[in-house]
Structure 1
Amino acid sequence: MTAYLVRRLLAFLLTLLLAALVIFVVLEVLPGDPAQMMLGTEARPDTLAALRAQMGLDRPAPERFLRWLGGLATGDMGTSLTYDVPVQELIGDRLAITLPLAVMALLTAVAVALPLGMLAAARQGRPADYAVMGFSQLGLAIPNFWFGIVLTLVFSVTLGWFASGGFPGWSAGVGAALKALLLPSLALALAEAAILARVVRSSILENWREDYVRTARAKGLSSAAVLRRHVLRNAAIPIVTILGLQFAFLVAGAIVVENVFYLPGLGRLLFQAVSQRDLIVVKDVVLLLTALVIAVNFLVDVLYALIDPRPKAGAA
């Protein structure tokens, strides 16, 4: 078990290092002047030279890469050229919105998908099963930004129950902040719930046909007991995988929904940084989102080892 976790941790660190190298090469080493890109073609030579010196572009690329990694390791992510504040402060403020939004969306998706998937598996080939599969198809077909606009039109413009956008801040109270995140989380959760419901149904049906289920039923256990004690544990392996991937997507892929609801989250920060050509912020935010995706995959591997004994046996 320990050897397995050490190997996964080393793979995580190596993948993160390679991701940082790719991001650095794309933004600072490939043909093209980052300073020229930020200031435009009409910038004066002395202004370009000053910006290159400020960004460290007058140093060799390997030195710049190592200095960037060193700064990240010590918590120094540089200073935004647009906002003139440390990037770590910008990211910290935006993560305080994006992470709760992703967690709310994931919890909503789980709360909807688990009972629907179990219902569809228990009623396979019956109207309830067809209804769940129809919901899944519809959820996958509807873009989350379009669903967000519909939610805004219904609950904000027509009914007036929610604000149409913006975020009051956590200082306004937890209730007000969560209320502002409710509609965006529903918009994000629709497609994830549709995918997860299908996975839950398929995983339960696959395990329900195994020999251990027939043995448990032959011993007199009820269907509910077999499902609770045996099937769900084995069915959890693909479900955990999907949940991990979904959370990573919700954090890294909330750019469009955050722009629809004018939420000052991490996705909107990245969108603004790209629009304003603030490459320092772009570089740090892209690496952070990449690190989150890799970290979630690492945690999924750890959960594999806890749920399924086979990885532990293979690592011994």
Structure 2
Amino acid sequence: MIAFLSRRLLTLAVTAWLATLLVFTILNVLPGDPALLMLGTEARPDTLAALRTQMGLDQPAVVRYLRWVAGMLTGDFGVSYTYARPVGALILERLAVTLPLAGFALVLSTLIALPLGLYAAARHERAGDWAVMAFGQVGIAVPSFWFAILLILGFAVQLGWFAAGGFPGWQGGAGPAVKALVLPAVALALPEAAILARVTRSAVLDTLREDYVRTARAKGVSAWALMVRHVLPNALIPISTVLGLQFAFLVAGAVVVENVFTLPGLGRLVYQAISQRDLIVVQGVVVLLAVLVVAVNFLVDVAYAVIDPRPRVET
């Protein structure tokens, strides 16, 4: 187990380092002047020179990279040119919206997908199975921002049950804050639920073909007990893989939905930073998201070791 986790941690560290190297190279080393890109062609020469000094562009690229990585390891992501604030503080503020939103959407996706996947597998090649597969096709084909627009039209404009956008903040209480996240979470959860339902159905169908399942049936185990006690626990490995990837995607891919609902989350921050050409913020957010994806994959590997001990020996 220790050797298994050590290999995964080493892979995590190498992948995170490669992510920082790639992001830094794209934004700082490739041809072009980052300061000129941020300020525009009409900027005064003395302003350009001051920003180049602030960004360390007068120093060799290797020195700038090492200082940037060393700063991130201590929580210093630099200072935003647009907001004149530390990038780390901006990211922490926005994570207070994005992480609860992603977690909420993941819970909704799981609550929708697992029962549907189990039901479709139990009704294989019957009407219930076809209905779930149709839901999966629609959910995969329709983008989340379209679901977001439909939810706003139905539940905010027509029914008036929810606000069309905005976020009151956690300081006003958990109730109003959670209510503001309901529609965005549903918009994010529906496409992911469609994917997870199909994965659950396939994993359960594969498990139902195993010999121990036939043995349990021969012993008279009820269909419900068979699904809950024998089939679902053994189908969790592919399901847990998709769940881990979905959480990372929900955090990194909420840019459009957060902008539709004007939520002050991480996705909206990176969108605003790109539109304002604030490369320091873009650089910090992209690296954080890359590290988050790698970390989630590591946690999925740990979940493998807990659910099924065989990967510890085989890898």
TM-score interval w.r.t. the shorter chain?
over 0.9
SS of the residue 1:150 aligns to: helix
1:78 aligns with 2:78: yes
Match of 1:116 in 2: 116
CA distance in 2, matches of 1:295, 1:269: 22
Q: CA deviation at 1:121?
A: 0.7
Match of 1:314 in 2: 314
1:63 aligns with 2:63: yes
Match of 2:15 in 1: 15
- What TM-score does the superposition give when structure 2 sets the normalisation length? 0.98
Deviations 1:120-166 (Å, cap 9, x if unpaired)?
11111111111111111111121110110111011111111111100
Moved more, 84-93 or 222-231: 222-231
**One-letter code of the match for 2:86?**
P
CA distance in 1, matches of 2:51, 2:250: 35
SS of the residue 1:81 aligns to: coil
Deviations 1:258-282 (Å, cap 9, x if unpaired)?
0000001000000000111111101
Deviations 1:164-187 (Å, cap 9, x if unpaired)?
100000011100000000000000
1:174 aligns with 2:174: yes
Match of 1:261 in 2: 261
Match of 1:30 in 2: 30
**One-letter code of the match for 1:179?**
K
CA distance in 2, matches of 1:40, 1:226: 65
Q: What is the aligned-residue identity percentage?
A: 66
CA distance in 1, matches of 2:150, 2:188: 13
**One-letter code of the match for 1:241?**
T
SS of the residue 1:277 aligns to: coil
1:239 aligns with 2:236: no
Deviations 1:224-253 (Å, cap 9, x if unpaired)?
223222211210000000001111110000
CA distance in 2, matches of 1:51, 1:134: 54
CA distance in 1, matches of 2:143, 2:47: 43
Match of 2:147 in 1: 147
Deviations 1:9-56 (Å, cap 9, x if unpaired)?
000000000000000000000000100111111222222111100111
Match of 2:46 in 1: 46
Match of 2:164 in 1: 164
Match of 2:187 in 1: 187
CA distance in 2, matches of 1:292, 1:134: 32
Q: CA deviation at 1:222?
A: 2.6
CA distance in 2, matches of 1:72, 1:288: 10
Q: RMSD of aligned C-alpha atoms?
A: 1.0
CA distance in 1, matches of 2:30, 2:222: 64
**One-letter code of the match for 1:113?**
A
CA distance in 2, matches of 1:202, 1:139: 17
**One-letter code of the match for 2:180?**
A
Unaligned runs of 5+ in 2: none
**One-letter code of the match for 1:175?**
G
**One-letter code of the match for 1:92?**
L
Match of 2:101 in 1: 101
CA distance in 2, matches of 1:91, 1:255: 14
CA distance in 1, matches of 2:228, 2:151: 36
CA distance in 1, matches of 2:221, 2:158: 52
CA distance in 1, matches of 2:220, 2:120: 24
1:205 aligns with 2:205: yes
Q: What number of residue pairs does the alignment pair up?
A: 315
SS of the residue 1:85 aligns to: coil
CA distance in 1, matches of 2:223, 2:258: 43
Match of 2:252 in 1: 252
Match of 1:218 in 2: 218
CA distance in 1, matches of 2:210, 2:129: 21
Moved more, 182-191 or 37-46: 37-46
CA distance in 1, matches of 2:164, 2:198: 32
